[in-house]
Amino acid sequence: MTFLYRVSVIIIVYYDDIVIIITIVNYLTMIGKENGGIISMSEINNTAALEARKQMALAFRKKGIFIALLSGFLYGGYTAFLTQGMASGVWAGWYGAKSGLTAFAVVYILSAVGAAVNDICSAIWSLFYAGLIGRLGDFARALKTKPGRILVVAAIIGGPLASTCYVIGLQMAGSIIVPIAALNAAIGAIIGRFLYKQKLTGGMIGGILICFAAAVIIGLFGYGIPEDGIAGIVGNLSGEAALGMAAAFLAALGWGIEGAVGGYACCMVDTEVAICIRQVTSGIVNAVVLCSLLSIIGGESIGAGITLVGQALTDAPSVWMFFVAGIFASWSFKFWYKGASMCGAALGMGCNGTYAFWGPAYCLVICGLIFKGDGFMLAWPAWVGALIMVGGILLLAISQDRANKAQ
């Protein structure tokens, strides 16, 4: 009978995980011999199948965590190449003293243009890749569904609004704002408490408090510990730096809302299709709507922002960097969506939040060391704050994930 059990299980396992199930069957057979009992064929097969499914689910979850962590790593690349692209080619002239642009245009319109160009490049790549794998037709069909429309709304919040605030922060304060923007995980948990009545456990509250404490550390001491005490801290927070950090917080708020709203839809739309919806929506709305609106507010002609988008897309010295940034962004969001669908929205968002560290690290290497840019060597409190932020995000994500399992 023992031989029969093994042969039958090997035939079943041939299509799944042969090593795990053979080990289980041998273990069960030995128990039957030691206890002098007889284990039926159905008991062995049922127990082996349940254990195999459990192991497969665990492996699936671990793969999802790895993919979500990879999304945070890739987001750092998007941040660095976007920052460098907006310092090269025609952009150097726009940010120069003789550009002829108003202060409002330099700070806000150019930031919207940069976000629009990046998202357009990312959308082109996403559509191209979807076409290569035969998913382009699904993109048009998904737009007609409720989950697809929810993704459009989430993309508008997280794309034109949050991404533009992120770029404003980068241009005004530098890569120091990246960990502050990573507060989206904590904000998403708070939003989920009100939207979906999700209970906040002690671990989740602790993670949220750690995240905000890290943001305070970065805000107060990110440029170094001043020798003149409070006066020096106030000096660090004055002017453009403070506005840049405020913009980063608004970006975190937008991405937190996107994660809370779009997380529902991502579970029902293929990842490749979801990223196409996200980037196409963001690129079009950013370039056509937001850039035009900011142009009007800034006293420019309605088409001024769109004209700048066209010039940036045809500027050879910088546009290739935007395409690289767009590819990084596409894969980062794709892995965020995919990882979250495999390991859970809470854990997926938490793993993605590791870009709090990878963003400044990428900027230091690419913008600072390779392209010899200034201002990317952050003070040690900023790095400590970034690591504390990552720890808080992961504590929040793990606690929220456990709370979801317990329900």
Q: Mind listing the pLDDT tens digit for each residue in 110-131?
A: 999 999 999 999 999 999 999 9
Let me know: does 167 contact 111? Beta carbons within 8 Å.
Answer: yes
Single-letter amino acid code for the residue at 397: A
Let me know: does 177 contact 247? Beta carbons within 8 Å.
Answer: yes
Query: What is the spatial distance between Cα 265 and Cα 161, in angstroms, rounded to a whole number?
Result: 20
Contacts of 25 (CB under 8 A, 6+ apart): 5, 6, 9, 44, 48
Q: Could you tell me the pTM of the whole model?
A: 0.81
**For residues 287-311, average pLDDT:** 95
pLDDT tens by residue, 355-403? 989 999 999 999 999 999 988 888 888 899 999 999 988 888 888 778 7
Whether pLDDT at 43 is above 90: no
Domain ranges of the chain: 2-39, 61-406
**For residues 299-312, average pLDDT:** 95
Query: What is the spatial distance between Cα 144 and Cα 129, in angstroms, rounded to a whole number?
Result: 21
Give residue 238's pLDDT: 65
